[in-house]
A and B are shown apart, each in its own frame.
Chain A
Amino acid sequence: MYLKELSLNNFRSFKSSTVSLQPDLTILVGENNSGKSNAIDALRLLTPPLSGRREIYCQLTDIRFDTGTGFDLSARYDDLNAAQQGRLVSACPDKAMTDAVFGLSYDETKGGFPTRPALWAGIAGRTPESGSHDMIRHVYLPALRDAKYALASGNPTRIYALLRHFLKDADPADLIKALSRDTDHEILETIGGSVDDGLEALTAGVRQQTASLGFSKDEKLIDIARDLKFSLADQGIEPEDLSYSGHGYANLLYMATIAVELENVSNADLTLFLVEEPEAHLHPQLQAAVLAFLKDRAVKSRETPKDDGSPAGEIQVVVATHSPNLTASVPSKSMVFLRAVVSETETATPAAGAGGEGGVAAVEEVAVIATEATGVETEKAPPTLRRETRSISLADLLTNAKERRKIDRYIDVTKASFMFGGRMFLVEGIAEALLLPVLAEKIVLKDDEAALRRFRSTTFVPIDGVDFQPYVKLLITPQNDIRIADRVVIVTDGDGPKTLENGLTAGENRKRIYDEIAEGVDATTICATYINDYSLETELLSAGNHDVLKAAYIVCHPQSEEKWDNAVAPAGDELATSMHTLFKETRKGDFAQVLAELIEDGAEFVVPKYLSDAIKSISA
């Protein structure tokens, strides 16, 4: 069993949205304020905590921007075995009995005071069978973790929870007795005696008191927890006090103590492990280790299905992250992309017949009513612009398995930043990747600070000869009316003069394909392809940069001046061929480095049109 869909209506940044999740592990990625934490919090509200200690409650401020009187959340669970279907029969949404749905309605006008949420099962308004809702729980790992503080001596909460967890129902008395400290020492008696002298003098006239110094006679488990401390060190080395450890490892220790709670999962059918920013304080390698740990827990929990009807004890992990490292380490089908878009919302009006929710459609309705009813006294406020979270499930977007596998192989940490960037500049190779920023800063966008800022936030991805049609499709195909990328610009070589069967050069053909892809998903305004006729070096030369290029070439090959002069002598197609031969023995990246340096030092340079067009396009 797993949580397949989370639906949110009028909840914080969500207007009306459904987020699809994967059975083992789902990564929610998105820039700041995209709504990731809201989705996680929705899951914390919909399910009881595994430990029984509730830490989050529904609040009036959870209602989206004060529109309407309440919000609705619901979770649809799929893949139930027969015993689960039996236990969750009250959560059946229909006669098929395959899914279970649990929901929560919070309505200011209906929940009493203070407003309390109404839990429902199956369909809105139906009471769940008592106890059934507890079969699905969650464990939450918050984002801001001062692990050293949380695990420090004097802060007993985590350690107390661990003690309780392992004691289970046993009486802690034996443990307390075993761990309690001896109060016998003459120095304590001496102190007691001395203090007593003064105390007797002070209290004898009224009500005589005596005092003694020692450890608590009546220690409870929490007192023991307060005195226990975690130590941490490399394996094989004497453990040191946690205060000597850095935040990173302390965080991992903290995570490990939370993970211990997962051992209780066998009492529930499904436990959601909700993790915010596991990368906090962690070095990239450790980030990967954390994710592997989380995924491993999930997979292991499903390994041996229970066929004796007992609670399945399965774990489903949902992670919210900013980290391209984490993103790169999971297959694309585990990713859900969240972004906040701006949409028109009507400001809250008292319930008229217009309905209210529904996004664009509702706004149009309002407009119609306003124009037709001339005698309308109440002025409808002009629709305000508000942001709204929408999601793209990559599993649903990438339905072609072959393409999906290509993307998974292709994505690394750099390319994974597409999930956060917004602007993607796909360039032919390393040479372009090195040169273009310099050309933009020094020449093309020199006087346009705003455009330059946008250019700097762009992610550069060298194509390196790979067919990245799947990658382009991933970036611009819409789902729920949003796309992953804001802008995609592709710069590629013409590769002339050779032509293919259809009469186009390889470059022209690639452009045709990419343009078709963009047209197919109605993305021509945000996705453009720029090509040259032959190759980068040839175009740079033809643009009129002979001297600079020669200088750069000589730096790379000090003995080859004549070779250069001969190669650049011809024109047109012949020039392309001779340049091609010339650069066969030159590392393009090295050449580009040198050239970039010369340009940065102030050399005169003319930027070929296709490159300046591309630069302006990506920074639009």
Chain B
Amino acid sequence: MAGFALTTEQVAIVEHEGSAFISACPGAGKTRCIVERARAVLSKSETRHGLAFLSFTNAAVSELQERLAKNRLLPAPIFPHFVGTFDSFIWHYLVEPFGLDGCDNPLKVIPGTGDLIVTPFPGAQGLRLDCFERSTGKIIPEEARKVGFNRDPARYETAAQRLRVRLLERGQLDFDDVRRIANGNLADKAFSNRLGCILSARFGEIIVDEAQDCNPDDLSIIDWLRDTAKIPTKVVCDPHQSIYGFRGGVSDELFKYASTFAENEQLPLTGNFRSSLHICKVVHTLRAPSHRGEEEALGPLKDCDLNVHVLSYGGKGVSTQIGTAFTTIADKSGIDPKDCRLTAKTRNIVD
């Protein structure tokens, strides 16, 4: 990928000053684009602001860090720049420095607080803190059923609330607490303006990668960065690759959000450097008509003429016939089964 000259679309992004919504197809070279944008910004000697690169998984963050390091674009330590997860950014710049009313200790993120056991009196059956609603403190019926708890929850609920209060007093937060506090801080207009001012003095641009993994909450924070803090924000996503259902990532919200960008700020990447033309065509067909973009195969494999085979199966399970048919097709195309990649919903299927 690195050997290719940048496409017109990619150049448009690398040279674009200000906010942008970048909708990229798979294999579009998003990371390369981001790295080149970093190079363009950092090579200008007048640049004194930091750059912030946000993503949603540690894997994505590592990949980007590696690429930036390989290209010798960031100093070590990377200060004043930032490369990290969205949660990490929120923690460092919206929550940690500002403390919590009623807590004199430094704040710490303790991911496992949900696993703490609530026992209202010695000898009682312990229930995980996760079993209790965060805001109301009431026990969550499904969780109670899961562990076979059917007693009067009142004393447990009180104990759970007390435990949460104690954790907050000690400054021991979990990710949800962090979000809640961040939103609370931003809701304070005076604080929000002050913070927006200093963050925009610190960061000249923010690039959010894998934004398809944002939930509405995340989007409102990106909004805050772009509109209140007035930091140019480039949102990069593949709207069709959202995999974190549990985080509430929703495609509709994302498209709605895209429309808040001006027309000259919509910079799509339609060149697919990974897949063959045939695959692109199939994907195009499989998508809902309203979501069909123009996708062009540009990579080294674009002319690969291996056909795409769609094998359907009825019922709930995947039968072994699928496996046989797969191996036959692979054989015919001269591909060693060892070189085949399988992705499936569960391990069982693959076996």
Taking Cβ atoms with an 8 Å cutoff, the residues of A that contact B are: 81-83, 85-87, 89-92, 94-97, 120, 122-126, 129-132, 134, 306, 308-311
Contacts and interface: CB of A to CB of B under 8 A. Distances in A.
Interface stretch (B92-100, B148-156, B241-249): B92-100
Nearest to A124: B106
Contact of A92 (B49, B97, B105): B97
Contacts of B106: 120, 122-126
Contact of A122 (B97, B104, B202, B203): B97
B191 interface: yes
A309 B92 contact: no
Nearest to A133: B79
A131 B107 CA distance: 20
A129 B199 contact: no
Nearest to B202: A86
A131 B97 contact: no
Contact of A131 (B78, B200, B201, B203): B78
Sort A-B residue pairs by CB-CB distance and give the 6 closest, nearest first. A131-B79, A86-B202, A82-B201, A310-B48, A131-B77, A92-B97
Contact of A83 (B46, B79, B107, B202): B202
A443 to B, nearest CB: 64
Given A89-B93, A125-B106, A130-B79, A95 B191 contact: yes
Grouping DSSP codes into helix (H, G, I), strand (E, B) and loop, the A interface class, with mixed when no group exceeds half, is loop
A503 to B, nearest CB: 60
B201 A85 contact: yes
Contacts of B195: 97
Contacts of A120: 106
30 contacts: A81-B201, A82-B200, A83-B201, A86-B80, A86-B202, A86-B203, A87-B50, A87-B80, A89-B202, A90-B96, A90-B97, A91-B97, A92-B98, A94-B98, A95-B185, A95-B191, A96-B194, A97-B195, A120-B106, A123-B99, A123-B106, A124-B106, A126-B96, A126-B97, A126-B106, A126-B107, A130-B77, A131-B80, A308-B48, A310-B48
Contacts of A134: 79
B80 A82 contact: no
Interface residues of B, number: 30
Nearest to A131: B79
B198 interface: yes
A86 B199 contact: yes
Contact of A309 (B98, B104, B201): B201
Nearest to B78: A131
Interface string B203-226: 110000000000000000000000
Contacts of A129: 79, 92
Interface in B67-98: 77-80, 92-93, 96-98
B78 A95 contact: no
A129 B204 CA distance: 18
Contacts of B50: 86-87
Given A91-B97, A125-B106, A97 B201 contact: no
A309 B48 contact: yes
Contacts of A81: 201
A96 B188 CA distance: 12
A89 B48 contact: no
Contacts of B46: 308
Contacts of B201: 81-83, 85-86, 309
B197 interface: yes
Given A89-B202, A122-B97, 14 more contacts: A83-B48, A83-B202, A85-B201, A86-B199, A89-B92, A89-B93, A89-B198, A90-B97, A92-B97, A92-B98, A95-B98, A95-B191, A122-B106, A126-B96
Contact of B97 (A83, A89, A311): A89
Nearest to A308: B48
A126 B203 CA distance: 22
A60 B338 CA distance: 63
A97 B196 CA distance: 11
A129 B97 CA distance: 10
Contacts of A130: 77-79
A125 B204 CA distance: 30
Interface string B162-197: 000000000000000000000001000001001101
B328 to A, nearest CB: 55
Nearest to A90: B97
Nearest to B46: A308
Contacts of A83: 48-49, 198, 201-202
A125 B105 contact: yes
A231 B239 CA distance: 71
Contacts of B98: 92, 94-95
A312 to B, nearest CB: 11
A97 B194 contact: yes
A124 B93 CA distance: 18
Contacts of B200: 82, 86
Nearest to A92: B97
Residue of B46, B78, B185, B198 with highest tally of chain A CB at under 10 A: B198
A606 B93 CA distance: 79
A94 B185 CA distance: 12
Nearest to A126: B106
A132 B92 CA distance: 13
